[in-house]
Amino acid sequence: MMLRDKVAVIYGAGGDVGGAVARAFSRDGARLFLAGRRRATVDAVAKDIVSAGGSAEAAEVDALDAQAVDRHLQSVIDKAGRVDIVFNAVGIPGTKILGVPLIELGLEQFSLPITTYATSYFLIARMAARRMVANKSGVIMTATTQHSRMGLPLSGGYGPAMAAEEALTRVLSAELAPQGIRVVGLRPQAMPETGTLKEAFEARAKVSGMTWEQFQVSLASRNHARRLMTLSEMANVAVFMASDKASGMTGTTVNLTMGSLDD
Ligand SMILES: NC(=O)c1ccc[n+]([C@@H]2O[C@H](COP(=O)([O-])OP(=O)(O)OC[C@H]3O[C@@H](n4cnc5c(N)ncnc54)[C@H](OP(=O)(O)O)[C@@H]3O)[C@@H](O)[C@H]2O)c1
């Protein structure tokens, strides 16, 4: 029970990463407030958690809308008295951003991931930090991918978006850690259980001619373990990083690439 009685807000909680982190946080004792753009997917995760004996409330919150994020966080404070952890698991479909060579890519498609990922993370972090400073404690978290540090073809503005998030993690920490707030990211290896990876495959399938199985083998061949990651492996690390046991970690992105990327 590493997160017993911690109040956690997860954005993009209806997605694969957000849902897995929410379930893992709940198993470790956190009280959850789940937010996402479409209410139905967030409701489904909350329902699962509650039927397993946990505490979760769902809300429709657009993480790109500063006022909506602010109102929702205030409602969390009103109900729970504080917010201890926020986790940004917002993501946009790969079909909108992947699969087009840069020389053919339009500016709008290039900018979309950069604007979406950096803005949602910034707004969530800023609004949460304003509440956390009062308690001189809190943890702000996000998820990125190895595109932040690798030149992977046909990924458009996704790499720059991931790099922007990781840079923001460092800057947020430099300003907030003196006030007791840790800021940490997770950079997981691709997870085949997720719709995101299936979309990444589909975006490249026509060009590469690979099957789904060949695609996974080719991704795994770049890491030491020669396999991809499970959602539960990622979520277990998220629990630890959110807990007080990780009190020495801030301003960093945990390298969960299983050896794809050297530190
Ligand atoms: N999947 C992987 O293998 C993997 C690996 C490493 C890192 N990551 C990172 O993890 C994050 C989440 O990925 P995922 O695979 O869980 O994606 P996902 O399943 O598509 O989930 C993303 C969630 O974000 C929500 N969302 C989108 N725009 C939003 C907004 N403006 N406000 C609130 N919620 C919004 C989506 O809701 P709607 O469906 O209603 O739009 C969806 O529930 C991404 O940053 C991704 O890069 C994923």
Taking alpha carbons only, the member of 27, 24, 35, 32 closest to residue 6 is 32
Which of 34, 169, 194 has most ligand 1 atoms within 8 Å of CB, for mutation? 194
Per-residue confidence (pLDDT) for residue 99, from 0 to 100: 87
Query: Taking the chain, what is the end-to-end CA distance rounded to the nearest angstrom?
Result: 30
- Distance, CA of 223 to CA of 257 (rounded, Å): 7
Q: Does pLDDT of 203 surpass 80?
A: no
Q: How many helices (H) and strands (E) does the chain have?
A: 8, 7
- Cα 195 to ligand 1 centre (Å): 9
Over pLDDT 90: what percentage of the chain? 92
Per-residue pLDDT tens over the stretch 11-29: 999 999 999 999 999 999 9
- Cα 200 to ligand 1 centre (Å): 13
One-letter amino acid for residue 64 of the chain? L
Which of 39, 64, 72, 90 has most ligand 1 atoms within 8 Å of CB, for mutation? 90
51-59 mean pLDDT: 98
Which pair of tokens denotes residue 139?
């943890």
Per-residue confidence (pLDDT) for residue 205, from 0 to 100: 82
- Distance, CA of 72 to CA of 62 (rounded, Å): 10
Distances (CA, A) of 248 to 165, 177, 180, 182, 243: 21, 10, 11, 9, 11
- Distance, CA of 200 to CA of 177 (rounded, Å): 35
Per-residue confidence (pLDDT) for residue 64, from 0 to 100: 98
Per-residue confidence (pLDDT) for residue 95, from 0 to 100: 83
Which of 61, 193, 196 has most ligand 1 atoms within 8 Å of CB, for mutation? 196
pLDDT tier, 103 (very low <50, low <70, confident <90, very high otherwise):
very high
Residue located via tokens 């007791």:
180
Per-residue pLDDT tens over the stretch 69-84: 999 999 999 999 999 9
Cβ-based neighbours of 4, under 8 Å, separated by 6 or more? 28, 29, 30
H helices present in the chain, as ranges: 16-27, 39-51, 66-80, 107-135, 158-176, 195-208, 212-220, 231-242
| Residues facing residue 34 across a β-bridge | 10, 58
Pocket of ligand 1 (CB under 6 A): 11-12, 14-18, 36-38, 41, 62-64, 89-92, 120, 143, 145, 188, 190-191, 194-197
247-263 mean pLDDT: 97
pTM of the predicted protein model: 0.98
Alpha-carbon dihedral sign for residues 195, 168, 7, 60: negative
Cβ-based neighbours of 64, under 8 Å, separated by 6 or more? 116, 119, 120, 123
165-180 mean pLDDT: 98
- Cα 178 to ligand 1 centre (Å): 30
- For ligand 1, atom 42, the nearest C-alpha belongs to 15
- Cα 91 to ligand 1 centre (Å): 3
- For ligand 1, atom 21, the nearest C-alpha belongs to 15
- Cα 76 to ligand 1 centre (Å): 22
pLDDT tier, 96 (very low <50, low <70, confident <90, very high otherwise):
confident
Q: Does pLDDT of 45 surpass 80?
A: yes
Which pair of tokens denotes residue 152?
């992977």
- Cα 90 to ligand 1 centre (Å): 4
The number of beta carbons lying within 10 Å of the beta carbon of residue 233 is 15
**Mean pLDDT of all residues in the chain?**
96
Which pair of tokens denotes residue 221?
């061949």
Which of 10, 11, 17 has most ligand 1 atoms within 8 Å of CB, for mutation? 17
For residues 131-157, one letter each, b for 16 or more C-beta atoms within 10 angstroms of the residue's C-beta and e for the rest, the string is bbeeeeebbbbbbbbbbbbeebebbbb
